[in-house]
Amino acid sequence: MAQPLKDILVLDFSTLLPGPMATLMLSEVGAEVIKFERPGVGEDARQTEPKIDGESIGFAVLNHGKRSVAIDLKSRGAVERLRPLIERADVLVEQFRPGVMDRLGLGYEAVRKINPGLIYCSITGYGQTGPKASAAGHDLNYVGDAGILSLSRGPDDQPTAPFGLVADIGGGTYPAVMNILLALIARQASGQGTHLDIAMAEGAFAFAYWAHAEGVIAGQNIESGGSRLTGGLARYRLYSAADGRQIAVGALEEKFWQSFCDVIGLPVALRDDWSDPNACAAEVARRLREHPSTHWEPLLAAADCCCSVVKTPAEAARDPHFKARDVFGRTVKISGRDAPALPLPIAPEFRSSGNSVGVAATLGEDNTRYGLDQPKTE
């Protein structure tokens, strides 16, 4: 099957995570992605640890398969030098605070005059308009402002940070990709591009749809860790085994809950975790602490009750199930070594053939290809 975006050109002015992961996904399905970076040092992610022989692993994982052009966007004539690429581009992705691209002469209104069919995607924390549009922030701030961090923040004396970058990826990357694809489809009928305003804080709301129902619509007070899906019931929370490993108990449905209770021998009188969740959870915790995770894992698997041992990332990469599905089968070269590429939610039918996804270009490697050699200084 031909790759869906094989004739699409993407200009990528984004940095760090949300935009680069979005353009990585577009590249994986055939788009030609040109990444623009500062001359000399490139974007900040090139300097992040860990590294292999001086090359950032994180940068390579998110930027392989893209072209690299080094250009000072503040330099005189930068926009004119970029004009040929803007004229034939299909998508532009940027991640600056609102107004920055305008000051550089690369704002949506300016580039639309050059290319009316361009799909211009802006990814920011709070969007292009509103009181917080120019506010600085990171994922932790966005999920905090969206109200979802309050749902399970840990004990007051030892608050727990979220395990994943929900707003950056779920509120930034995924909405950007989805809306870019929708805009490409819409352009087939209209011939016109559009400006996509992706706000990471807003994209985070959908991850706690149940909190919207309970807290916003029904007006209920939601305590941290007190809801059905945040540890309020004994049947849906984390417990420690004797070896310190954790057991993820997700036995929401009654049949799974009863099967789990049978495995650990929980007395029938304590199984009603709706009426007294704390007493029930205390006894579940006590029983699970009696044995190591190696004791519980086969028993829980045999019971098929939505309960499992929490794995580390390295253990997950070795999991026979993921190996059987070749989840980590694709490789990226980092300083000449093959390393597992980041698994992305893209159907294999739309990817390039072969298991190698290539390398991350060196800074400015493709300037000559696009006629953008750095001008000589007098």
Degrees (nearest 5) of the Cα angle 176, 181, 183? 95
Burial of 30 (0-12, 13-18, 19+ CB in 10 A): middle
DSSP conformational letter for 373? P
How distant, in Å, are the alpha carbons of 77, 141, 151, 200, 280 from that of 146?
Answer: 41, 8, 11, 10, 32
CA atoms within 13 A on the CB side of 285: 15
Residue 213, both tokens: 């129902």
Integer Cα distance of 198 and 171 in angstroms:
8
- Contact assessment for residue 20 and residue 63, using Cβ atoms and an 8 Å cutoff: yes
Catalytic (active site) residue 138: yes
CA atoms within 13 A on the CB side of 316: 10
Closest CA to 257 of 275, 239, 236, 278: 236
User: ω before 4 within 30° of 0 (cis)?
Assistant: no
Catalytic (active site) residue 272: no
Alpha carbon 349 to chain centroid distance?
Answer: 22
- Contact assessment for residue 291 and residue 242, using Cβ atoms and an 8 Å cutoff: yes
CA atoms within 13 A on the CB side of 351: 17
Spot the catalytic one: 138, 195, 212, 291.
138
- Contact assessment for residue 196 and residue 179, using Cβ atoms and an 8 Å cutoff: yes
**Could you tell me what percentage of the chain is helix, strand and coil, using 3-state DSSP and rounding each to the nearest 5?**
40, 15, 45
Closest CA to 32 of 12, 50, 13: 12
Spot the catalytic one: 90, 168, 197, 273.
168
Catalytic site positions = 138, 168
